[in-house]
Amino acid sequence: MKLRLVQLACAAVLVAATGSLAAPPRVQADTYQRISGSGSSWAANAIDAMRVNVKQFGITVDFNPNGSTAGRKDYLNGVVDFAASDIPFQFNPEDGSAPENPAAGSYAYIPVTAGGTAFMYNLKINGKRVTNLRLSGENVAKIFTGAITMWNDPAIVADNPGLTLPARTVVPVVRSDGSGSSAQFTAWMIKTHEPVWNNFCQRSGRAPACGFTSFYPTVQGMIAQQGDLGVAGYVSQNFAEGAIGYVNYSYALGSQFPVVKLLNAAGYYTEPTPEKVAVSLLKAQINTDASNPSLYLTQNLDGVYADTDPRNYQLSSYSYLIVPTIVQGQFNLEKGKTLGAFAYYAMCEAQQQSASLGYSPMPVNLVEASFDQIRKIPGVVVENVNIAQCQNPTFSADGTNTLAQNAAAPKSCDQQGPTQCPDGTAGMANVPTAINPSAQAPTATVPASGGATPTTVASGGATKTTTAPGAGGATGTTVVDPNNPNGVTDPNVTLPDGSPVVIEGVGTVTCIDPSACGATSPDGVATPQGALTAAPAVATMIADSSSTGTLGLELLVVFLTLGMVLGPAIAWRYFTERRS
């Protein structure tokens, strides 16, 4: 009996083995060595989407979202091929942590995605979730430093005339690991509410000041969790009513939770939607000194905090990939080829998807600068990316940021004052919150002051602009001229007014209307470029298939679990009975 079972098992294994052998070999033009990275959990949702999408080209990228600090450290220790970090290497950390000293000229920053650090909260009034909470920067700072402890604090009530806030304890949820989100958040607090922050530092045992830090100090009454996922996971639990945590906007979307509308310098409460982030980052100062790779392309966000555009969200920032520029440690030329292909994908096609994930796509000057940075990766196969085919929603013919240009102005009820909008935010955008009659206002959109009225860029009906003589096909065009980095010397994110993107080569097509581009793009299948454009469609398909059949999946899980628990027990009983 036992022998027969063994035979059966062997047969099953054999069948399985031949089955896997018979499977058709994967068709791929290129072979890529597997690469790995780690770091920012803030940017992890964007990077994960990219990794999933490049799988179809045979590119395997492993990414461990263990926090920006850990990512940079892993990179320095040579255990990963690239890192993702919200902040650059800390040569002189203000918070007393150990300095990071990468070898000069061994790395480059690639700004990979942009987004808002959002305050996701779990608050109910009469059993109904609040989705339209508004807070001033000062109140946010006070909440996360323990100065405001109740939701019905007069300061919070003043921000929310339309809500009857409950007498519930505020539970700030912060990051327990070294985190770029904490760094961005504390940098903002130092710039805008320094006394509140320094006072807290002293109370938490880091006298006299903790400075700008990746390690958020905690005191009794706060909850600290690992990673953005940990923070979002805690806040979204049923028991965590009253909790508020800082995460990337995408996590609030994913958890289907609202985020705080934060008061900006123009007096409007805004939510970090991709459009608002794009507007805000127009004021980010990007370092354009290419001769200093330790700072090149890094951000200074003071202008974002002070921006008086009504659409501004103060806690908007870029996140970076840190890539090697020399062969070192486990990194070799083969991996460079993979990393290069991945980075090209990340900077071009992947940007179309950013907005649907809750991130903001990169503007054209940073995309171009990134292409230059990618060339520095050893072993990279330089692609002459036709930038128009990236279909990045921020691109326009005249170099302005379309996404920011077209961003809608906030509603008048979002202005600081006696009125409050009922509309939901982030993951609960479709769920309005009932507001007190006294705070109701007509919900008409008012043109914002300061000339920020929504404008359309595609003037003159020009859907495509051919800037070079169209000799031959439009393949193999060079978009960025390495000898002419003018395109990125503008301190602001947009290119100099109206000047076209620096374009060389033959037959380059710059277009505004994606569909027109698709039509005019030459051979969409044979070139790797054409293959890459198929990515979003596949990504959508994957997303679709995962959303259907949840019941079936649940049943499968239940049966699997039951089988795992009962199977061994039954088998055990069977065998022991036979033996005895």
Partner 1 sequence: MTATTVLRESERDGTPASPRKLFQRGGRGDRMFDALTGTSGLLVLSIMVAVGVFLAVQAMPALRRTGFSFLTTAEWQPDRGQFGIAAVMLGTVLIAAVAVAAALPISMGTALFITEVAPRWLRATLVALVDLMAAVPSVVYGLWGAKLLQGNVIGISRWINRWLGWIPIFSVKGADPSSPLSSASVYTASTFIAGLVVAMMVMPIQCVVMREVFSQVPPGEREGAYALGSTRWGMIRVVALPFGRGGIIGGSMLGLGRALGETIAVLLIISPRFDMNFHILEAGGNSVSALIAGRYNESNGFGLSALMAAGLALFAVTLVVNFTASWFIARSRSGASSDA
- Interface residues with partner 1 (CB under 8 A)? 66-67, 69-70, 73-74, 76, 96-98, 100, 166-169, 171, 176-178, 205-206, 218, 220-226, 233-234, 237-243, 564-565, 568-570, 572-573, 576-577
Whole-number Å distance between alpha carbons of 364 and 96: 37
- Within 8 A by CB and 6+ apart from 136, the residues are 155, 159, 262, 263, 416
Whole-number Å distance between alpha carbons of 406 and 23: 49
Helices (H), 55-131: 68-76
- Residue 212 or 305 with smaller CB distance to partner 1: 212
Q: Which two tokens stand for residue 409?
A: 């102005």
- Residue 147 or 240 with smaller CB distance to partner 1: 240
- Residue 322 or 377 with smaller CB distance to partner 1: 322
Whole-number Å distance between alpha carbons of 293 and 80: 20
Neighbours of 456 (CB within 10 A): 10
**H/E segment holding residue 35:** strand 35-39
Q: Do 320 and 112 touch, CB atoms closer than 8 A?
A: yes
- Residue 97 or 332 with smaller CB distance to partner 1: 97
E strand map for 365-520? 464-466, 509-511
Neighbours of 431 (CB within 10 A): 17
- Residue 525 or 569 with smaller CB distance to partner 1: 569
Measured N-to-C along each axis, helices 180-192 and 68-76 cross at an angle, to the nearest 10 degrees, of 120
Amino acid letter, 473: G
Whole-number Å distance between alpha carbons of 574 and 508: 72
Neighbours of 27 (CB within 10 A): 6
- Residue 14 or 557 with smaller CB distance to partner 1: 557
- Residue 26 or 579 with smaller CB distance to partner 1: 579
Q: Do 182 and 70 touch, CB atoms closer than 8 A?
A: no
- Residue 21 or 565 with smaller CB distance to partner 1: 565
- Residue 243 or 266 with smaller CB distance to partner 1: 243
Q: In the bound complex, what is the minimum distance in angstroms from residue 251's beta carbon to partner 1?
A: 16
Q: In the bound complex, what is the minimum distance in angstroms from residue 507's beta carbon to partner 1?
A: 49
DSSP string, 112-159: EEEEEEEEEE--EETTEE----EE-HHHHHHHTTTS--BTT-HHHHHH
Q: In the bound complex, what is the minimum distance in angstroms from residue 496's beta carbon to partner 1?
A: 41
Q: In the bound complex, what is the minimum distance in angstroms from residue 233's beta carbon to partner 1?
A: 7
- Within 8 A by CB and 6+ apart from 58, the residues are 26, 28, 30, 31, 32
Measured N-to-C along each axis, helices 44-54 and 333-347 cross at an angle, to the nearest 10 degrees, of 110
Whole-number Å distance between alpha carbons of 580 and 216: 62
- Residue 67 or 410 with smaller CB distance to partner 1: 67
